[in-house]
Structure 1
């Protein structure tokens, strides 16, 4: 192993040249978004048992077993 003065600085420079710098930190406030909820729930909150079969998924059926 090359153990000498300045070896760590050279290794750090090589790592920085290869991988670059870390991205800037993102604040938590920038990652979240507040949205008002509608009282009725909209179309996404409705449940239709007669139409729910359209979204059924089964791996065995997808594979043709």
Structure 2
């Protein structure tokens, strides 16, 4: 014997509307944020992008 639902409480209606579909897909480009590794020192003008390589003995 099956019961037919005639009415649902308001909370159940909100849940079914909220979870009835999947969210919009997120693009990979929107998940990555790029920042420079070393901030530019405008006062001394001594910005060296390879500083870490020299400091760590890579050269």
Q: TM-score, normalised by structure 1?
A: 0.30
User: Which structure shows the bigger proportion of residues in helix conformation?
Assistant: 1
The structure, 1 or 2, with the larger RCO (C-alpha pairs under 8 Å, 6+ apart) is 2
Query: Given the two structures, how large is their TM-score scaled by the length of structure 2?
Result: 0.33
